[in-house]
Amino acid sequence: MEERLTEKTAIVTGGNKGLGFAMSEALLAEGASVLCASRTPGRTGELRERFGDRVRHCETDVTDAESVAAALKTAAETFGGVDIVVSNAAVRHDGFVKKLTPGEWRETVETCLTATFLLTNAAVPYLSERGGRIVNISSGMARRPMPGAAAYSASKAGVEMLTRTSAVELARYGITVNCISPGLFDVGMGADLQKVPGLWEKYLENISLGRAGNSEDIGRALVYFCTEASSYVNGHVLELDGGYLG
């Protein structure tokens, strides 16, 4: 199979586990070099065993501007530039509005939304040199109100509008900005739902394709946004949910 991202470099926040791991794996399989930016190495070692020196981990606090800038600099110095930026890192604190603490709200918004802004902001000088791609990761919960998910849903809704606004502003620099909005997946946060008796089956009933998404699904969607196949797509939010009916 032809590798469509040979000589491209990507930075993936939270790329060491869950959906982030799946996306890092997909980029590497297409020939890209990947810097996984996260607090801990996680499963990065597994990727290094398979893909060697095309994988690096950089200890990063995605909510800190200096840390994010340092990660981008590391990627550029290690691999010769930055072509693809994937803002995936997230945290979720469940709680009804009347009980959610300000600290839980703040951590969720800073990790999901503010971190996406910081990465976009710092990446522009690198991406504008190479006609780069930014892909943000949202959630189906950005558009569907769910009791107990105010902080997460609000922050992901913000990610989608930030995507659209950034796309308009950065197009003049040859940068496209798009977003993937995953629905129910059997990896990442969604995997935890399988531990709740009956809940997984209940969600599956609302998916027209009758199954949850998997690592290959998120990987293919990401690769599409990073290759020439999507060169005329900008500011788009892809609902990757198998046709959710809820």
b/e code 42-60 from CB counts within 10 Å (16+ = b) = bbbeebbeebeebbbbbeb
Q: How confident is the model at residue 225 (pLDDT cuts 50, 70, 90)?
A: very high
Active site residues: 152
Query: What pLDDT shows up at residue 1?
Result: 59
Query: What pLDDT shows up at residue 229?
Result: 96
- Flag whether the pTM goes above 0.85: yes
Q: Which residues contact 80 (CB under 8 A, 6 or more apart)?
A: 9
Query: What pLDDT shows up at residue 180?
Result: 99
CB 20 within 8 A of CB 36: yes
- Does residue 159 sit in helix, strand or coil? helix
CA 215 to mean position of chain CA atoms: 13
Mean pLDDT of 17-34: 97
**Sign of the alpha-carbon torsion through 103, 186, 13, 134:** negative
What percentage of residues in the chain have a pLDDT greater than 90?
85
- Cβ burial of 155 (10 Å; 0-12, 13-18, 19+) is buried
- Cβ burial of 25 (10 Å; 0-12, 13-18, 19+) is buried
Mean pLDDT of 200-210: 91
84-87 sheet: strands from edge to edge = 55-59, 33-38, 9-13, 84-87, 133-137, 176-182, 237-240
> Nearest-CA neighbor of 103 among 91, 115, 87?
91
Q: Which amino acid is at 47?
A: L
Element (DSSP H or E) covering residue 37: strand 33-38
Rg (CA), the chain: 17
Residue 135 burial (CB count, 10 A)? 26
Q: How confident is the model at residue 94 (pLDDT cuts 50, 70, 90)?
A: confident
Mean pLDDT of the chain: 95
N residues, the chain:
246
Domains of the chain: 9-239 (3.40.50.720)
Q: Strand 55-59 vs strand 84-87: parallel, antiparallel, or unpaired?
A: unpaired
Most confident residue range from 48-57, 88-97, 188-197: 48-57
Determine the angle formed by the axes of helices 215-226 and 18-29, rounding to 10 degrees.
50
